[in-house]
């Protein structure tokens, strides 16, 4: 039986999802390998249970060209390697590579919170800040494949060639004791709510800039921060309205819907699509 396979590669884990004519299988998650050759072996092993893959999509936490990764700070041993060709040799199927943020928004547009939208922006806020841009129903990948790198928006932060200034100021890593803070805010703790309000103000500056300059139908907050939007959304939307243009302040900001599965679903979508 032939199948399409989506592979979502993160800095610490790799997720695999297969789809046959009978439907999608179970999501498989494993710690990501620590070297290039070990990674090739790992992907081949994870795909071994799928008879004759018809196509494979791979999402990576960094920029890739058509043939391989170019800039992957989380997994630098991938950079400059002919990943597409090597995987095609191992798997016997065509392989397509994509930026994980692009694939996340592709999935949200097909099956999640941006379904039916002609334009949308994703800010993926986790240990860093990435994302994507949907225009006229298509992901805008950019000339170099890195469109949606919102972490590089200007902010008051030190110069760093690996981490952008907005990422340093407003990523999940910049929110100290984030899970405990969110839990306390849900319980009504005023100090926790004040700390989240201060963080929301930093994040809102970037959100407002994107809303004002692009004017999309919707902005999605993805990554680990999506799970905190029940308490973060009110102060975030209030601060966005402060910093945005009149029209930018009207753009709704919502949590992404597919959670941690979005990247691998997006990878599966490009596996079965000739051009995306």
The residues facing 131 across adjacent strands are: 123
What's the full length of the chain, in residues? 276
Report the pLDDT value the prediction gives residue 173, as an integer from 0 to 100: 79
Domains of the chain in start order, with CATH, are 3-102+261-271 (3.30.420.40), 116-256 (3.30.420.40)
Angle, CA 272 vertex, CA 263 and CA 264 arms, to 5°: 15
Residue 201 CA from chain centroid, whole number: 22
**Per-residue pLDDT tens digits for 201-229:** 999 999 999 999 999 999 999 988 888 99
Query: Which string of b and e fits 28-60 if b means at least 16 CB within 10 Å?
Result: ebeebbeebeebbebbeebbeebeebbbbbbbb
Report the pLDDT value the prediction gives residue 39, as an integer from 0 to 100: 98
pLDDT band with cut points at 50, 70 and 90 for residue 254: very high
Average pLDDT over residues 89-112: 95
Average pLDDT over residues 176-190: 91
* Helical ranges in 112-177 per DSSP H: 165-170
**Per-residue pLDDT tens digits for 163-174:** 889 999 888 877
Cα separation, 226 vs 219, whole angstroms = 12
Percentage with pLDDT > 70 across the chain: 99
pLDDT at 51 exceeding the cut of 70: no
Determine the straight-line distance between the first and last CA of the chain, rounded to whole angstroms.
25
Average pLDDT over residues 107-112: 97
Average pLDDT over residues 137-146: 92
């Amino acid at each position: 039986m032939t199948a399409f396979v989506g592979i979502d590669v993160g800095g610490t884990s790799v997720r695999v999802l297969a789809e046959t004519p009978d439907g999608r299988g179970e999501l498989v998650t494993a710690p990501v390998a620590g070297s290039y050759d070990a990674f090739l072996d790992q992907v081949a092993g994870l795909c071994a249970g799928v008879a004759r893959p018809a196509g494979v999509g791979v999402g990576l936490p960094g920029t890739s060209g058509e043939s391989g990764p170019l800039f992957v700070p989380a997994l630098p041993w991938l950079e400059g390697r002919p990943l597409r060709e090597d995987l095609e040799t191992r798997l016997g199927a065509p392989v397509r590579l994509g930026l994980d943020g692009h694939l996340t928004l592709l999935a949200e547009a097909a099956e999640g919170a941006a379904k039916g939208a002609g334009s949308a922006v994703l800010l993926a806020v986790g240990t860093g800040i990435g994302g994507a841009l949907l225009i006229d129903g298509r992901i805008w990948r950019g000339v170099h494949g890195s469109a949606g790198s919102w972490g590089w928006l200007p902010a008051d932060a030190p110069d760093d060639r690996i981490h952008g200034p907005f990422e340093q100021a407003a990523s999940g890593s910049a929110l100290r004791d984030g899970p405990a803070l969110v839990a306390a805010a849900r319980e009504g703790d005023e100090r926790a709510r004040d700390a989240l309000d201060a963080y929301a103000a930093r994040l809102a500056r970037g959100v407002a800039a994107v809303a004002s300059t692009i004017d999309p139908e919707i902005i999605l907050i993805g990554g680990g921060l999506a799970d905190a939007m029940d308490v973060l959304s009110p102060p975030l939307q209030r601060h966005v309205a402060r910093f945005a243009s009149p029209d930018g302040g009207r753009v709704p900001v919502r949590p992404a819907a597919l959670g941690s599965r979005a990247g691998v679903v997006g990878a599966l979508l490009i596996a079965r699509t000739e051009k995306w």
